[in-house]
């Protein structure tokens, strides 16, 4: 291993990394309420000697831009283990676009076995027969100088990545699964930021209890919420609090502030105008705008049957393709498929939520399972 903690050493390292087909990467960082602070970047490249690992001191070197060219080559595959935070830190510090070719060994194992989120040490044992510990996992990575044992620990996380990539790659290639690993690794490393959904009367289970006046108040709250920018929605009252506001139709800032879930400071600043508009919406409620709502059931046997079928399908199909359910068919996706089926959509329509690589992997086996065990019929 070689420590890189001087500008001239970093400048000399850059050309040695350029043109690499693969970069084997890891980072050490400190995480606190103030955020994450990058401490060390561990790097190796394809074709190098097994012990040729570079430890770039990201604290002593304020400018890491000499690495930018090598790390920006989109044809270069980044090989990491559980690399979400590593990629985030490197992309931010170097000011580069996220890599297009990522091979996350944790993700690869989940696409070749029933196990998701395994540790690097576990993978070394399962694939390479190595028993390794984590003696420095909780160490302070911001102190300087770092002791020799801590540096060797950091280097050890990189030394076996080439062998792991080869072993996983052979298994994945035999199944034609390399493209899926690349896509799934990129998805895990660059998660889609979820947006707050639009609200409607259907978003409120107890909206059926409202009368004409209070339903109009809830409609006002729904419109008010949906018109907020995404950053403001995160600080808006939750559905339970909005229901309480609509049910009471507070007439003043003080009345509004007394409702559990309403921030008193916000109520004092904006409550007068807000309650004035809320009162007007309730007072001007029209009979023709009132929608009588029947209460939705808390549970149905139809839901139980669909959920049971999906549970069996998930387990059986993931077994057939030898992939971890938590990665390839996560609970959030299962729920979206369930909701679609309960609304009367076909299995083909419901599986559109799977997307590209999941669809390629699961759609055929799911159809086969549906032929063997027909989907329960819904009331729709």
Number of other residues whose CB lies within 10 A of the CB of residue 197: 9
Cis status of the peptide bond prior to 145, with omega within 30 of 0: yes
The angle formed by the CA atoms of residues 219, 221 and 223, to the nearest 5 degrees, is 70
pLDDT in tens, the chain (380 residues): 899 999 999 999 999 999 999 999 999 999 888 889 999 999 999 988 877 999 999 999 999 999 999 999 989 999 999 999 999 999 999 999 999 999 999 999 999 999 999 999 999 999 999 998 666 566 899 999 999 999 999 999 899 999 999 999 999 999 999 999 999 999 887 766 666 678 999 999 999 999 999 999 999 999 999 999 887 887 788 889 999 999 999 999 999 999 999 988 889 988 999 999 999 999 999 999 999 999 989 999 999 999 999 999 999 999 999 999 999 999 999 999 999 999 999 999 999 989 899 999 999 999 999 999 999 976 54
Q: What does pTM read for this prediction?
A: 0.84
Helix (H, G, I), strand (E, B) or coil at 31: strand
Rounded Cα distance, 26 and 13, in Å? 17
């Amino acid at each position: 291993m070689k420590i890189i903690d001087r500008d001239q050493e970093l400048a000399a390292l850059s050309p040695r990394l350029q043109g690499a087909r693969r970069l084997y990467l890891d980072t050490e960082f400190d995480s606190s309420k103030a955020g994450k602070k990058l401490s060390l970047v561990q790097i190796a490249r394809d074709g190098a000697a097994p012990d040729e690992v570079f430890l770039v001191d990201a604290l002593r070197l304020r400018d890491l831009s000499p690495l930018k060219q090598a790390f920006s080559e989109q044809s270069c595959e980044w090989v990491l283990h559980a690399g979400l935070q590593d990629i985030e830190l490197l992309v931010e510090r170097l000011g580069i676009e996220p890599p297009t070719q990522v091979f996350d060994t944790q993700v690869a194992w989940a696409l070749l076995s029933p196990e998701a989120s395994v540790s690097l040490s576990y993978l070394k044992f399962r694939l390479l027969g190595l028993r390794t510990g984590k003696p420095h996992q909780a160490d302070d990575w911001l102190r300087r100088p770092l002791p020799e044992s801590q540096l060797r620990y950091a280097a050890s996380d990189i030394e076996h990545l080439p062998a792991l990539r080869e072993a996983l790659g052979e298994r994945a290639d035999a199944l034609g699964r390399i493209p899926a690993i690349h896509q799934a690794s990129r998805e895990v490393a660059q998660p889609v930021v979820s947006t707050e959904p639009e609200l409607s009367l259907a978003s409120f289970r107890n909206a059926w209890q409202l009368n004409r006046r209070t339903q109009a108040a809830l409609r006002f709250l729904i419109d008010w919420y949906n018109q907020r920018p995404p950053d403001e929605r995160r600080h808006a009252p939750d559905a339970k609090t909005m229901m309480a506001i609509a049910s009471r139709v507070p007439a003043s800032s003080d009345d509004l502030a007394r409702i559990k879930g309403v921030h008193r400071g916000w109520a004092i600043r904006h409550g007068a105008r807000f309650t004035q508009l809320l009162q007007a919406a309730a007072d001007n409620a029209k009979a023709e705008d009132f929608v009588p709502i029947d209460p939705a059931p808390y549970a149905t046997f139809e839901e139980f049957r669909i959920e049971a079928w999906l549970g069996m399908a998930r387990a059986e199909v993931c077994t057939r393709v030898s992939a971890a359910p938590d990665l390839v068919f996560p609970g959030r996706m299962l729920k979206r498929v369930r909701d679609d089926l309960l609304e009367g959509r076909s299995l083909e329509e419901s599986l559109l939520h799977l997307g590209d690589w999941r669809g390629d992997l699961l759609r055929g086996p799911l159809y086969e399972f549906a032929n063997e065990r027909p989907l329960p019929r819904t009331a729709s």
